[in-house]
A and B are shown apart, each in its own frame.
Chain A
Amino acid sequence: VVDALTRVVDGLPGLVWVARGDGRIEFLNRRWREYAGLDTDAPSQAAFAASIHPDDRSRWDERWRDATATNDPWELEVRLRRVDGVHLWFLCRASPLADADGRAVRWCGINTEIDDRHRTEYQLRTKESHFAAWVESFPGLMVTMDRSGTVELFSRELLEYFGRTREELRNWSITDVVHPDDLERVVTAFTQSVTTGTPYSIEHRCRRADGVYRWFQVRALAARGDREEITGWYVVLSDIDEVKRAEDALHRARSELAQVSRATSLSMLTASVAHEVSQPLSGILTNATTCMRYLDAEPPNVDAARETTRRTIRDGNRAAQVIARLRAMFSRSEFTLEAVDLNEAIRELVALSQGDLQRDRVSVRWALDESLPPITGDRVQLQQVVLNLLRNALDAMAGVDERRRQLVIGTARDASDRVRVSIGDTGVGFDGQPPERLFDAFYTTKPDGMGIGLSVSASIIERHHGRLSAMPNDGPGATFSFWLPVRPARDGAGAAALDLPTLAAERAPSP
């Protein structure tokens, strides 16, 4: 029976022991003896104590003092020295064998090795403290929150940026640094993410410790547990104030460029208009002078005077028309949508540029699709684009003497619901330059050019949801073209209003 019992005790998966009521060891099973390298199952107290890690001995002794006082079962985690000198963690559990008075006369215990578990827990703790240290020193503004949004960890930069103490941050809600104008957006986005677990990403202004608001991109990802449940949030706040400012500056520069372009176009147009007005004005002056002479004659030549007066009036109307057209083009400076007849808009522009075309000895070949539907857009801005392409085409042909200088101006209905406007020339082409660079601001191949025309033109066309492109011709020269979507024009009232000045001039009573 004893042998059988010993085999059982020795076979148990643990270090089994029996101690007297005062804690003195009476018996160790074989596993323990072999583990600790003891050669007897009843070692001296000193030999036994030596197998407990020195750092754990006081806890061990304390536990025994408690146990002998209370006679309650107990457990304790300690490190025990293996025969090779390595200490492994064990969970020691002991139960009392009590006498009739309830006092422990014996203690039976078993120690279970928990070294792996201990190591894992330790690693976890280390990882956690590493993570905390990592968040703490994160080179940026970072904060982690639990499921409910309570702040857990945060980077030092965050602390400094918002000028809070650690204690303040514990109960911190990011909303109290959000710019009031952004608050509603932030709350909406935050609520959305917290309830659905979708990643959070929003740009808004945050108030720095000194009260200055700066733009941030705030992004948060949900941390999830084994069952995909949200366990917390990792939040990173990126300062994008510089970028935001640069964007604003870029936007401003764009509109300034458009202004410059407008002014440049205006000065070109002014020259064209001066030319256009000078012609009828010459007629008016000459006719009126001649008329005076007819009337001053003895006898006055009234018939001839009437004829010159008729011409004077006609030329006067012609000049008025030019001015009316000019007024129609420049009376409105904002982006206004209206139904635009592109053919008509282009013809008007070419009429105004007639002087330049003549001076440069450029002929125009028209290829207009007369059934072109009206598009919805800003007439003046679209005319600026055409004017710009026209000017470029003329410049490209300025040095061409060995062949005809010809503009091919075309409109066509593109496949699907788009119309295309193209302006081809027989100029120098791209001269080996990459066509895509042409649309960069300040890129120019012209010695006296500013290089903003095409870039601004491209942005105007993009604003119309169209696209401006350039292609070298099969023969000499290049063709610039853009397409615009055809959208249902409103009731055409806009177009009618636009044409009013021109129509009024044309409908002026004939002499």
Chain B
Amino acid sequence: MSGGSLVSIVDDDECIRESLPDLLRELGYSSRAFSSAEEFLASDTVQGTACLILDVAMPGMTGPELQRELRRRRIEVPIVFITAHQDETLRSRLLAEGAAECLFKPFSERALLDALRSTVGAA
């Protein structure tokens, strides 16, 4: 694990949890992946997270609900939403509600890097 800023991933899709941390580490970030919002909230990673890559639709607590929960707890962390629903209305709403970015799956390395650089800066 490299020593860059910690990027946490919350996604119920195993493909993402498996592949994204490897790529983030290659890009110079540290990374941890969680399969649900609840798991993330229960972990000791919440405070140290520099950026949260967050799936929108998940069983149990959804991405936007986690965003509200973090705000309620006064935890300021930039959020990059990722979603498999190519829905521009949803994207605009998420951005309007304070998301740093919203990427449609599948997204490119370039798009991911741009999003991370604009939130936490280069690794």
A contacts, CB < 8 Å to B: 271, 274-275, 278-287, 289-290, 293-294, 304, 308, 311, 315, 318, 355, 358-359, 361, 363
Residue picked from B19, B60, B104, B107, most chain A C-beta under 10 Å: B19
A294: chain B residues at CB < 8 Å are: 26
16 residue pairs bridging A and B, Cβ less than 8 Å apart: A274-B84, A278-B86, A278-B106, A279-B15, A281-B105, A282-B15, A282-B106, A282-B107, A286-B19, A287-B18, A289-B23, A290-B19, A311-B19, A318-B15, A355-B85, A359-B56
Q: Are A311 and B18 interface neighbours, CB within 8 A? A: yes
Q: A359 to B85, Cβ gap below 8 A?
A: yes
Please list the residues of chain B having a beta carbon within 8 angstroms of any beta carbon in chain A: 12-13, 15-16, 18-20, 22-23, 26, 56-60, 62, 82, 84-86, 104-109
Which residues does chain A contribute within 8 Å of B62, judged by CB atoms? Answer: 361
Nearest B-chain residue to A289, judged by Cβ: B109
Contacts A281-B105, A293-B23, A304-B22 given; indicate if A359 touches B57 (C-beta within 8 A).
Answer: yes
Bound CA span A280–B109, Å: 16
Q: A285-B109, A286-B16 are in contact. List 16 more A-B contacts (CB 8 A).
A: A275-B84, A278-B104, A279-B15, A279-B84, A279-B105, A282-B82, A282-B84, A283-B16, A284-B106, A286-B22, A287-B19, A290-B19, A290-B22, A294-B26, A355-B85, A358-B59
Minimal Cβ-Cβ distance residue in B for A296: B26
- Cβ distance B15 to chain A, nearest Cβ, rounded Å: 3
| Chain B residues near A286 (CB-CB < 8 A) | 16, 19-20, 22-23, 106, 109
**Chain A residues closer than 8 Å to B104, beta-carbon distance:** 278
Choose among A281, A308, A358 the residue that contacts B106 (Cβ–Cβ < 8 A): A281
Q: Give complex CA distance A293, B112 in Å.
A: 15
CA distance A315 to B16 in the complex (A): 11
Inter-chain CB contacts under 8 Å: number: 79
Which chain B residues border A363 with CB–CB below 8 Å?
Answer: 59
Top 8 A-B residue pairs of the complex, sorted by shortest distance between their CB atoms: A283-B15, A278-B84, A286-B19, A281-B106, A282-B106, A282-B105, A359-B57, A278-B105
Q: Which residues of A contact B20 (CB under 8 A)?
A: 286
State in angstroms the CA–CA spacing of A311 and B86 once bound together: 24
Docked Cα-Cα span, A271 to B16, in Å, equals 20
Contact of B26 among A271, A284, A293 (CB under 8 A): A293
In-complex Cβ contact of B15 among A271, A274, A315 (8 A): A315
Cα A304 to Cα B23 with chains together (Å) = 11
Q: Of all chain B residues, which has the CB nearest A304?
A: B22
The distance in angstroms between the C-alpha atoms of A434 and B62, with both chains bound, is 36
Which residue on chain A has the smallest CB distance to residue B87? A271
The answer on a CB contact under 8 Å between A285 and B84 is: no
A276 to chain B, nearest CB (A): 8
A283's contact among B12, B18, B86, by CB below 8 Å, is which? B18
When C-beta atoms are compared, the residue in chain B nearest to A360 turns out to be: B57
In Å, the complex CA distance between A359 and B68 comes to: 17
Residues of B within 8 A of A358 (CB): 12, 57-59
A351, chain B: closest CB distance, angstroms = 14
Kindly state the separation between the CA atoms of A293 and B106 in the bound complex, as whole angstroms.
Answer: 18
Q: A281-B106, A358-B57 are in contact. Are A275 and B85 (CB under 8 A)?
A: yes
Residues of chain B within 8 A (CB-CB) of A284 are 106
Give chain A nearest CB distance to B109 CB in angstroms: 4
A275, A279, A287 pick with most chain B CB within 10 angstroms? A279
Residue contact A361 to B15, C-beta cutoff 8 Å: no
Measured CA separation A279–B11 after assembly (Å): 11
Q: Are B57 and A355 in contact (CB under 8 A)?
A: yes
Alpha-carbon distance A311/B57, docked complex (angstroms): 23
Which interface residue of A278, A280, A355 has the most chain B CB atoms within 10 A? A278
Contacts of B105 in A (CB 8 A): 278-279, 281-282
Chain B residues contacting A290 (CB-CB under 8 Å) are: 19, 22-23, 26
From the candidates A283, A293, A361, name the one contacting B19 in the complex (CB within 8 A): A283
Task: Report the Cα distance A73→B107, complex, angstroms.
Answer: 125
A361 pairs with B84, CB closer than 8 A:
no
Q: How far is the CB of B13 from chain A (nearest CB, A)?
A: 5
Closest to A293 in B: B26
- Which of A280, A286, A290, A304: most chain B CB closer than 10 A? A286
* Chain B residues with CB under 8 A of A283: 13, 15-16, 18-19
CA distance A341 to B108 in the complex (A): 40
Residues of chain B with a CB closer than 8 A to A278's CB: 84, 86, 104-106
A275, A284, A318, A358, most chain B CB atoms within 10 A: A358
Interface centre among A271, A275, A280, A289 (most CB of B within 10 A): A289
Which single residue of chain B is at the shortest CB-CB distance from A359?
B57
Q: Could you tell me if B23 and A355 are in contact, using CB atoms closer than 8 angstroms?
A: no
Q: Which residue of A lies closest to B26 (CB)?
A: A293
Which residue from B15, B22, B26 sits with its C-beta under 8 Å from A280?
Answer: B15
A289 to B25 Cα, complex, angstroms? 12
How many whole Å from A370's CB to the nearest CB in chain B?
A: 24
Task: Report A407 CB to chain B, min CB distance, Å.
Answer: 13
Measured CB to CB, the nearest residue on chain A to B108 is A285
Q: Is A308 within 8 A of B19, CB to CB?
A: yes
Q: Is the CB of B86 within 8 A of A274?
A: yes
Q: Chain A residues with Cβ under 8 A from B106's Cβ?
A: 278, 281-282, 284-286
Residues of B within 8 A of A318 (CB): 15
User: Given A274-B86, A355-B85, A359-B57, A282 and B16 touching (CB < 8 A)?
Assistant: yes
Taken together as a complex, chains A and B put the C-alpha atoms of A274 and B18 apart, in Å, by 21
| B residues in contact with A304, CB < 8 Å | 22
Which residue in chain A gives the minimum CB-CB distance to B62? Answer: A361
Q: Shortest Cβ distance from B43 into chain A, in angstroms?
A: 22
- Cβ distance B29 to chain A, nearest Cβ, rounded Å: 13
Greatest chain B CB density within 10 A among A311, A318, A363 is at A311
